[in-house]
Amino acid sequence: MNFAQLPSVDVAAVPADALVLDVREDDEWAAGHVEGALHVPMSDFVARFGEVTEAVEDGRRAYVMCRVGGRSAQVTQYLVQQGIDAVNVDGGMQAWNGAGRPMVTDNGTPAFVL
Q: Quickly list DSSP for the chain.
A: --GGGS-EE-GGGS-TT-EEEE-S-HHHHHH-B-TT-EE--GGGTTTTHHHHHHHTTTSPPEEEE-SSSHHHHHHHHHHHHTT--EEEETTHHHHHHHTT---B-SSSSPP---
Q: Which of 34, 56, 66, 86 is catalytic?
A: 66
Annotated catalytic, 61?
no
Residues that are catalytic: 66
